[in-house]
Amino acid sequence: MSKKVIAGWILTGVWVLIWSLYLTANWDALTTRPFNEWGDFFAGISAPLAFLWLVIGYFQQGEELKQNTEALKKQDEALRLQVKELKQSVEQQKILAEAAKTESEINLKNYAAQVESEQKRNLPRLYMLDQPRVKQQENDRVFTFSLMNKGADISLVKFIPSETMIEAGIAIASKSDQADWPQKNQRTVSVWVKKEYFNNPRDRHITFSLEFTNLDGDRAMVEIKLIINDERTLTIYMEPQSYTVVE
């Protein structure tokens, strides 16, 4: 209860007490008056009280409006604070998401680099040691040369011709198929090319595959390029950075 209301009740009580004492002191004289004068009497007594409570009500309503306004301001401030916290939370989530994405990309790159490094470690590297020796065998030209493995140790080696080689009538074989091929060891390889190929070569660059078992025991395959320059020379080119695991 506000101070204004308390003061209003006190003034009302004092006012009623004063007129009660007046009525008590002048009761005999007042009883002889007609009823219309009694009405005027009580109306005169009540009018100041009504005006008093009208004024108190006005100020009380103003205070309540002020309190409601303050409450609305506090609610608005709380809402603004919630919106600000929500924005900060969203920004923080964005930062965390970006950090997680960056970390994931780094982990993926590290994994890819690890796989690439592992593949390089298990990768054979073949180099021709000399120019091929060429001889005529019926309708074929036979190129014989030595290949050195300067990469990782491999085993169960197998040369697999491509469809282009088969269509062109070109074959490749090694006398040591299915044997181990350690690092810095060489083996003799022969390539058979039909004589008709040189009259109308479809493609000087022909690929074939080398299938092998690597150091981890996986069956793998690399692609090697065979370049037939003319009837006397050819080139083996292999510079793979990775291999394909055979299921």
**Would you give per-residue pLDDT tens digits along the chain (247 residues)?**
677 777 778 888 888 788 787 777 776 666 666 767 777 677 777 788 788 788 878 777 877 888 888 888 888 888 989 999 999 899 999 999 999 999 999 999 988 888 777 777 778 888 888 788 888 877 788 888 888 888 888 888 888 888 877 877 778 887 665 578 888 888 888 888 887 777 766 666 778 888 888 888 888 888 888 787 777 777 777 755 556 666 5
Q: What is the pLDDT of residue 234?
A: 77
Q: What is the pLDDT of residue 106?
A: 92
From the list 145, 147, 144, the residue with the least C-alpha distance to 127 is 147
Residue 132 neighbours by CB under 8 Å, 6+ apart: 143, 144, 145, 191, 233, 234
As a whole number of angstroms, the distance between CA 202 and CA 162 comes to: 14
Q: What is the pLDDT of residue 59?
A: 77
Residue type, 224: I
As a whole number of angstroms, the distance between CA 179 and CA 156 comes to: 5
> Is the separation of the CB atoms in 242 and 116 below 8 Å?
yes
CATH number of 126-245, picked from 3.40.50, 2.60.40, 3.30.1490, 1.10.10: 2.60.40
> Is the separation of the CB atoms in 146 and 129 below 8 Å?
yes
Exposed / middle / buried, residue 42 (Cβ in 10 Å: 0-12, 13-18, 19+): exposed
> Is the separation of the CB atoms in 186 and 130 below 8 Å?
no
- The pTM (predicted TM-score) of the whole model is 0.50
Q: What is the pLDDT of residue 202?
A: 61
